[in-house]
Amino acid sequence: MDSQSVAAFVTSTNQVFTTMLSLQVSAGKPYSGCAVPRFENDVSGIIGLSGDVQGMVVLSFPTTTARNAIRAFTGMDMEPSSPDFADAIGELVNMISGAAKAKFEGRTISISCPSVVLGRGHRVTQPSDAFCITIPFDCPAGEFSLEVAMKLAKSDAVPSSNSTARAV
Amino acid sequence: MKVMLIDDSKTMRTIQRNILLQLGYKEIEEACDGQDALSKVSAFAPELLLVDWNMPNMDGITFVKNYRANGGKSPIVMVTTEAEKTRVIEAIQAGVNNYVVKPFTPESLAQRIHETLSRVKAA
């Protein structure tokens, strides 16, 4: 995955958190591989990518960060068991993915409706043939990460990496 | 003024509802996808519609085409993550009057709503 692709997701995450949550985020150094969490992922919002670029975008939080972020987003304190909690996480990853895909000029990319996974310390397995990168973020709500797995459907496809995430 | 909010995310509908209430729009109907909106639009008769693009069952662009084909003339603002120029053109061709890309600020949404209503009034 080239630096422009990573930058697209960093910028879109910044845009969404600044505009909709009034939270400034700082991105850490991205690293290859998706199943190497630096903290426990308790909440993940997942979007599928299809078209010229295929893959997944996974926005993962520890519960505390997710609750703080949702409070900033909606103005309400929500329990993770509430359907509205999952809805809000889904909308965040939807906006991040949508804003990022617009930066891939010349490529037609569709995004799926979001899915949300709740479960302490879970991992989301990415497609094994896609290049995968994790971007760690920090903000006043806490730490979180964005995992992006992508492969190009056209002849200029990104070669898959040995560090691609595996099922856990 | 009667406004219909069409978005599969309850969070997003609530955010938009609160912005509309602050702008003084009190009569608001919500729909969770295009199909739901089509079933409510005749009875509610909205004077403005805010429509998301990506939704299950029936997406926003299909709803807009159906609404216009059935004689719906009220202004439509598409509020979506779809930011590519080709998408904007596709939406305008389908009958959308204005376009707001998520993420948005309350001010930018309000501005687009005012702009849309002013254009329709002037036409």
CB < 8 Å from B in window 21-50 of A: none
* B104 contacts on A by Cβ (under 8 Å): 19-20
Q: Roughly how many angstroms between the first and final C-alpha of chain B, as a whole number?
A: 18
| A84 contacts B103? CB cut-off 8 A | no
Reply yes or no on whether the pLDDT at B25 is more than 60.
Answer: yes
Closest CA to B3 of B45, B55, B61, B37: B45
Q: What are the pLDDT digits (tens) for B26-74?
A: 999 999 999 999 999 999 999 999 999 999 999 999 999 999 999 999 9
CATH code for B2-122? 3.40.50.2300
Q: Which of A19, A94, A98 sits opposite B83 (nearest CB)?
A: A98
8-state DSSP, A32: E
| A99 contacts B80? CB cut-off 8 A | no
A99 touches chain B (CB under 8 A): yes
ipTM, 2 dp? 0.90
Closest CA to B2 of B42, B46, B38: B46
Question: Are B67 and B61 within 8 A, CB to CB?
Answer: no
* B80 contacts on A by Cβ (under 8 Å): 98
CA distances from A155 to A53, A158, B20 (A): 11, 9, 47
Least Cα separation, residue B121 to chain A (angstroms): 30
B52 touches chain A (CB under 8 A): no
pTM of the full predicted structure?
0.90
Closest CA to A133 of A60, A15, A35: A35
CA distance A102 to A114: 17
Q: What are the pLDDT digits (tens) for B62-98?
A: 999 999 999 999 999 999 999 999 999 999 999 999 9
Domains, chain A, in order of start with CATH, read 3-28+39-152 (3.40.1550.10)
Domain spans, chain B: 2-122
